[in-house]
Amino acid sequence: MSEIYNVIIVGSGPAGWTAAVYTARAGLRPLVLAGSLEAGGALMTTTEVENFPGWPEGILGPELMEKMQEQAEKFGARTEYEDAVELSLTDPVKIVKTADNEYRAKTVILALGSAYRKLNVPGETELSGKGVSYCATCDGFFFKNREIGIVGGGDSAVTEALFLARFGKTVHVIHRRDALRASKVLADRLLGTKNVVMHWNSKVQSINGTDELTSVTLENTLTQERSDLPLDGLFIAIGHSPRSGIVSSQVETDEAGYIKTAAPTTATNLPGVFACGDVVDHNYRQAVTAAGAGCAAALDAQAFLASLP
């Protein structure tokens, strides 16, 4: 209670750990609130990262996060596996509360990340974990040689569909438009995969089953015709929502909930509060861009601390 940290970093994905590396190396002894269940962010559910610079052979997502944490702690970062439940950010000394503790700091870096976006259709909640999943790399193996569906058409959805094609008998890609939004390289690779079936101009109206998923009801967006598609597994990859709700009453956000920053800096509307990673970025959403933003937030926090009397 009596200690006032120079920096508290809320979140522990690539943005949070990079901010921790930079602030720790600057001698600021940051506190990282890594979370109790989701420490490491979205990369903890990624099997292999092939596009992070310095790893030509690829690296497992959890291993990359572990190495980032190790590097931050080597320079003096402190890690607590707690969830921030309440933040008071308007005063010169910021307060971050968890279920069991209260921490104070001169600056706070928000690396809150984002959450999976849901379809919000009948049966989705009831069958989540019973055939419905939001993470192909987490659950794809359980559907080996089965009929698998995936909803979405962006880079993330196509990447997950290609991953699922390694396991599934058939992968049914359900997309509400007549062309994929993914990059051409990924789209061409998917369309050339033999066990992939495209369901164009289709949206999921309901997810069906009692104790486990049995099918989804699709509606054609052009004709409004409906049909049932038997499935053993359904993966939903339609984007993410920023985890900004805990601070949205204090920190300015855009209409989608992403925290606004004073570009090119990571400064929010509140002095001493900085934001980085997926809670800010709804354009690129890459591990390397999140890490770069974490670096920027650390340097911005360092400059702010240096300006204090």
Largest CA distance in the chain: 68
Look up 139 and say whether it is catalytic: yes
Give the closest residue to 298 by CA, choosing from 30, 85, 88: 30
Catalytic residue among 139, 155, 281, 300: 139
Per the annotation, the verdict on 138 as an active-site residue is yes
One-letter amino acid for residue 242 of the chain: P
The residue among 197, 199, 218, 198 whose CA lies nearest residue 207 is: 218
Task: Return per-residue pLDDT of the chain as tens, 309 residues.
Answer: 579 999 999 999 999 999 999 999 999 999 999 998 767 777 775 556 778 899 898 888 889 999 999 999 999 999 999 999 999 999 999 999 999 999 999 999 999 998 888 999 999 999 988 999 888 876 888 899 999 999 999 988 999 999 999 999 999 999 999 999 999 999 999 999 999 999 999 999 999 999 999 999 999 999 999 999 999 999 999 988 899 999 999 999 999 999 999 999 999 999 999 999 999 998 777 889 999 999 999 999 999 999 999
The CA distance from 4 to 230, in Å, is 57
A 10 A CB-CB count for 86 gives 12
CB 132 within 8 A of CB 259: no
| pTM of the model as a whole | 0.75
* Rounded distance between C-alpha atoms, residue 235 and residue 137, angstroms: 10
Catalytic, 276? Answer no
Of the candidates 83, 91, 100, 138, the residue annotated as catalytic is: 138
